[in-house]
Structure 1
Amino acid sequence: MKAGNSVLAFDVYGTLIDTDGVLQALRSVVGEKASTVMNTWRSKQLEYTFRRGLMRRYADFSVCTKQALDFACRSAQVELTEAEIAVLLRTYDTLPAYPDATSGLLELSGIPNIRKYAFSNGLKADVEKVLKNAGLIDCFDGVISVDEVKSFKPDPVVYRHLISSVDSPAERT
């Protein structure tokens, strides 16, 4: 561990990155049902990762995201083509940051001895891509993905993985 350093870990999707950014793309394919589909999609995405973590039945975040979209469309009685599904899933690469995310992270950069990590259920490459597209990637010392331990938050194994990956004791992380 680097002496005197503290580590801050930030969740990405829904904390720094606005998952409601899919709404415009949804409107173009499902019309007036867009808000309903979006809310169900996100709710099921979180539920599926939570349940998979508890059951120790890992499938990566992109799989959970697609399965959640499939469920949301079925429950709203919406049928999408494979091309439409692909477009919607790609929106996760270009989701916007929340308006205060950049300024908050930049403010933290001015505080000495604080290392910042993006800590996500997403695949590392996907998280890096969305952070880069949102203009946030340079605010972090690194990206830690739960994929490396094949589980999801809130499984304690992912938090132990974070602490190990950033070489910091729990009380400073």
Structure 2
Amino acid sequence: MSTHALALDVYGTLVDPLEVKHKLQGLVGEQAEELAAVWRQKQLEYSFRRGLMDLYEDFSVCTAQALDYAQDHCGVSLAAEERQQLLEQYQELAPFPDVIPALETFAAQGYKKVAFSNGHPDQVRQLLSYGGVLAHLDGVISVHEVEVFKPAPRVYQYLLDQLGTPGDRTWLVSSNPFDVIGAKAAGLRAAWVKRAPGALFDPWGIEPDLVVADLKELAQRLGT
């Protein structure tokens, strides 16, 4: 086996952040899907901007500020209690159905498996415990200790340092193209989990080593 460490992104890869649209439907009706999408888009944008500006704040700050923007964008006003419920919903996202079976296969194949996230480590553990995923992982590695977000190069070096593995024996697994490109640029191997058939990969000339539809397919591909 040529690799032995898998670093799995959390939001969008292990759990679906757009799942909050179901909670939103009871609050904002037909605007739920748009609000959820804008919320996620701005959450990531704010992490990128904070990284460039050296104005690090916990990822939960990016999430809360992005929700406030999304409200304004969609022309809705949530009560303080409703807003807090939505933020708490981010800690209660269910894993995609392929996640736990794939993690069991990765374990049988001998891979070390960690969650690798922009989120605060305590919040990531809480989230993954809620969905029953944490017990199938060997640990959680967060950018919080580095105080900059993906795709900054030093977060991937921090990952390698924590794992104790070289880049060519470490896979970054993510549904987020920016994460895959960041990992490849830092010398890791990377698999893009193309969960949506219509998803596009950024045309930077930096390609993933593997493209898979879900984690079960990745386990099959890595096992061959």
When normalised by structure 1's length, the TM-score is 0.94
Larger relative contact order (Cα-Cα within 8 Å, sequence gap ≥ 6) = 1
Percentage identity across paired residues of the two chains: 46
RMSD of aligned C-alpha atoms?
1.3
Task: Answer yes or no: is the 8 Å Cα contact 1:5–1:115 preserved in 2.
Answer: no
Find the partner of 1:146 among 132, 143, 146: 143
- 3-state secondary structure, aligned to 2:109: coil
| 1:73-92 correspondence runs (5 A) | 73-92=71-90
1:67 corresponds to: 65
Alignment of 1:1-173 (within 5 A): 6-112=4-110, 114-173=111-170
Q: Tell me how far apart the structure 2 counterparts of residues 54 and 139 of structure 1 sit (CA, whole Å).
A: 34
Q: How many residues align?
A: 169
Read off the aligned partner of 1:24 and give its amino acid letter.
H
Aligned counterparts of 2:13 and 2:53: Cα–Cα separation in 1 = 25
Distance in 1 of aligned mates of 2:122 and 2:99:
20
Partner SS, residue 90 of structure 2: helix
Runs of 4+ in 1 over 6 A off after TM superposition: none
Q: Which runs of 5+ in 2 are unaligned?
A: 171-224
Shift of 1:5: 6.8
SS in structure 2 at match of 1:9:
strand
What is the Cα deviation at residue 20 of structure 1? 1.7
How far off its partner does 1:171 sit?
2.0
Displacement, 1:81?
1.4
Greater helix share, structure number: 1
TM-score, with structure 2 as normaliser? 0.73
